């Protein structure tokens, strides 16, 4: 029965994350268009795009490595969906609770980028190879500040006596803001801002869309992809968007509103679940939509230098403030 329970919950997460990711994509594109003074596509456009791609032919380049070319988009989708199985989704604990922790989540978050790079190299296209190289450089740049953010939050939880600290059940049920002093609050704020900067880079959105860069390398990583394979990469991006938003919420804002409103039972779960969707969308809007509307694409050296120096320095400063907060509070 336990296995069946996990299977049906996983199926709900897989289908729900895909639908939710496409809905967020539609809202994101519409809001971005309005912010730029355009009408924009209809909200259902992502669904139309996926539907059209699903009936198109899969074209494989002559110089490609076929098995790896086809495997890369599947790996990207599977990794993106699997991340959500280890994250708390609103009032519900992770589906695979106790079978993985934040360390595993960090590895899984890197897998879609690795899959895209492998697919780019496997396509045999010089444009895709340049995009794959850029993807690897960018991934090496933002992974360290991301790890510092996670370690900072987890370390402070551990010092407060919460265990296991790396468990998403522990992290998602223990907001740190009210458990630390002023220095700790400032440190958490710095870590939160760093994670917001990392979010569009994880999703390869403007200004961090250098691996695709249509005007420079004609689509880069995805230049040779079409049909179902391209649809799978599209879905992987949509699901990973939800996963990144859910991770930010779990680390910094795992609050519900049902209890303050005096709700209980099924209504409480429903309200908290809807509130979770709103929080995830707020993260996507702030970290992705507004940033890509307001900024232009950065160069690869700017991205590497930016993440390795100012962003990493800010993350380490946040961690140092949490350490000082521990010393002061005892």
Mean pLDDT score of the chain: 89
Mean pLDDT of 45-53: 93
pLDDT over 70 (residue 94): yes
pLDDT over 80 (residue 73): yes
User: Residue 322 in contact with residue 155, Cβ under 8 Å?
Assistant: yes
> Helix crossing, 102-123 with 227-252: angle to 10°?
160
pLDDT tier at 239 (50, 70, 90 boundaries)? very high
Q: Which are the contacts of 192, defined by CB distance < 8 A and separation ≥ 6?
A: 248, 252
The reported pLDDT for the residue numbered 307 is 92
Mean pLDDT of 40-69: 90
pLDDT over 80 (residue 98): no
User: Residue 79 in contact with residue 115, Cβ under 8 Å?
Assistant: yes
The reported pLDDT for the residue numbered 183 is 93
Q: How far apart are CA 140 and CA 51, in angstroms?
A: 34
The reported pLDDT for the residue numbered 241 is 94
Q: Which are the contacts of 149, defined by CB distance < 8 A and separation ≥ 6?
A: 191, 194, 195, 198, 251, 315, 318
**What would the pLDDT profile of 120-135 be if each residue is shown by its tens digit?**
899 888 888 888 888 8
pLDDT over 90 (residue 81): yes
Nearest residue to 117 via CA among 141, 140, 133: 133
pLDDT tier at 7 (50, 70, 90 boundaries)? confident
**What would the pLDDT profile of 14-36 be if each residue is shown by its tens digit?**
899 999 999 999 999 999 999 98
Higher pLDDT, 277 or 297: 277
H helix intervals, the chain = 2-35, 45-54, 66-85, 102-123, 126-159, 168-172, 182-202, 214-217, 227-252, 265-284, 290-294, 300-306, 312-329
The reported pLDDT for the residue numbered 215 is 67
Range from 2-16, 19-33, 156-170, 219-233 that averages highest in pLDDT: 19-33
pLDDT tier at 217 (50, 70, 90 boundaries)? low
Higher pLDDT, 52 or 262: 52
Is the pTM here over 0.95, yes or no? no
């Amino acid at each position: 029965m336990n296995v069946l329970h996990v299977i049906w919950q996983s199926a709900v997460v897989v289908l729900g994350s895909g639908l939710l990711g496409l809905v967020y994509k539609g809202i994101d594109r519409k809001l971005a268009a309005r912010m730029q003074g355009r009408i924009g596509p209809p909200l259902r456009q992502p669904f139309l795009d996926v539907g059209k791609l699903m009936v198109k032919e899969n074209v494989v380049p002559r110089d490609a490595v076929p098995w790896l070319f086809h495997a890369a988009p599947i790996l990207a989708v599977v990794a993106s969906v699997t991340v959500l199985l280890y994250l708390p989704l609103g009032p519900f604990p992770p589906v695979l609770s106790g079978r993985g922790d934040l360390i595993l989540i960090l590895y899984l978050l890197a897998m879609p980028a690795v899959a895209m790079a492998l697919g780019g190299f496997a396509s045999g296209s010089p444009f895709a190879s340049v995009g794959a190289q850029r993807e690897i450089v960018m991934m090496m740049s933002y992974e360290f500040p991301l790890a510092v953010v996670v370690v900072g939050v987890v370390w402070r939880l551990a010092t407060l006596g919460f265990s296991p600290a790396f468990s998403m059940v522990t992290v998602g049920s223990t907001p740190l803001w009210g458990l630390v002093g002023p220095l700790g609050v400032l440190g958490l704020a710095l870590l939160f801002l760093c994670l917001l900067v990392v979010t569009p880079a994880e999703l390869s959105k403007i200004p961090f869309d250098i691996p695709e860069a249509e005007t420079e390398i004609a689509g880069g990583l995805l230049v040779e992809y079409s049909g179902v394979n391209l649809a799978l990469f599209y879905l992987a991006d949509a699901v990973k968007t939800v996963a990144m938003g859910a991770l930010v919420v779990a680390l910094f804002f795992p609050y519900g509103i049902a209890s303050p409103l005096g709700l209980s039972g099924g209504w409480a779960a429903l309200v908290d679940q809807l509130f979770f969707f709103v929080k995830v969308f707020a993260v996507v809007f702030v970290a992705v939509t507004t940033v890509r509307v307001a900024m232009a694409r950065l160069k690869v050296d700017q991205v590497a230098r930016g993440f390795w120096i100012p962003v990493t320095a800010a993350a380490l400063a946040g961690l140092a403030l949490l350490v000082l907060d521990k010393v002061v509070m005892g």
